[in-house]
Amino acid sequence: MSVSAGNQGETALPRLYTDLAAWWPVLSNPDDYAEEAEFYRKCLREASRIPIRSVLELGSGGGNNASFLKADFEMTLVDIAPAMLRVSRNLNPECEHIHGDMRDVRLGRIFDAVFIHDAIIYMTAAGDLRRAIETAWVHLRPGGAALFCPDFVKETFQPRTIHGGHDRMLRSLRYLEWTWDPDPNDATVVTDFAYLLRDKDGVRVEYDRHVTGLFERGVWLRLLEEQGFKTETRSFETTTPDRVACEVFLASKPAD
């Protein structure tokens, strides 16, 4: 058994997306995303004034949502972590994958819709959130819709502890996920993970810290409006084990 420290720096990527990325599908089973992917698909279709064929996902991670959305949309998947792009390519070999940072990536083309799922929580300052919103805007066709899905807004944040995990092929993982707010006066919270990893070599435990952004609903709505979006909020509720409810921001880009 070994215990190692996670990344402490706010700019460093969590271990789940770097040295432990190969364990992502054992932590987060793609099959568990069917219900929410259907909700996101419906939101985008309802908010869009144009038919949706091409979708850009920023911070696509292991590609779990994309594995469902690709049935209806042509998905282009962007992530900052090369190891997560590798995981997603395995699951979604037919999708285009691009290495990039949602704060500044510029692909030089536009899409019918833009989707940023829980990866948006890695925007830990309002300036970064603004840049991610701008990236969504510049890649979105007029009349199209963008969907942003933070785990929490400040008004509804509650410290929480979740556990879960899966058995896949010859590997098993169980995790404890503990989200708490060391300083309620700033715009970040912390999620500490303990992972138990079992494979042919035995069981080991690893520690990982994720520092994530927490913004008031009003901050979200102001940044989206300043960018030019017309925005409404929607609530996603779920009964799927390992998945959690969230309030999402559904933003439309006016048609030219």
- Could you tell me if 126 and 223 are in contact, meaning their C-beta atoms sit under 8 angstroms apart? yes
CA–CA gap between residue 156 and residue 247 (Å, rounded): 9
Cα 237–chain centre separation: 17
Q: Which residue has the tokens 């092929």?
A: 169
For ligand SAM, which is the closer residue by CB, 118 or 143?
118
Instruction: Kindly tell me which of 24 and 220 has the beta carbon lying closer to ligand SAM.
Output: 24
Q: Which is nearer to ligand SAM, 27 or 52 (CB)?
A: 27
Cα separations in angstroms, 35 against 40, 56, 65, 233, 244: 9, 20, 10, 18, 11
- The distance of closest approach from Cβ of residue 67 to ligand SAM in the complex, given in angstroms and rounded to an integer, is 8
- Cβ at position 129, least distance to ligand SAM in Å: 11
Least separation, in Å, of the C-beta of 105 and ligand SAM? 7
Compute the distance between CA of residue 221 and CA of residue 148 in angstroms, rounded to an integer.
Answer: 11
CB of 78 to ligand SAM, least distance (A): 6
Closer CB to ligand SAM, 38 or 230, in the complex: 38
What gap in Å lies between CA 5 and CA 180, rounded to an integer?
A: 18
Binding site for ligand SAM (CB under 6 A): 13, 17, 58-65, 79-81, 84, 101-103, 117-119, 122
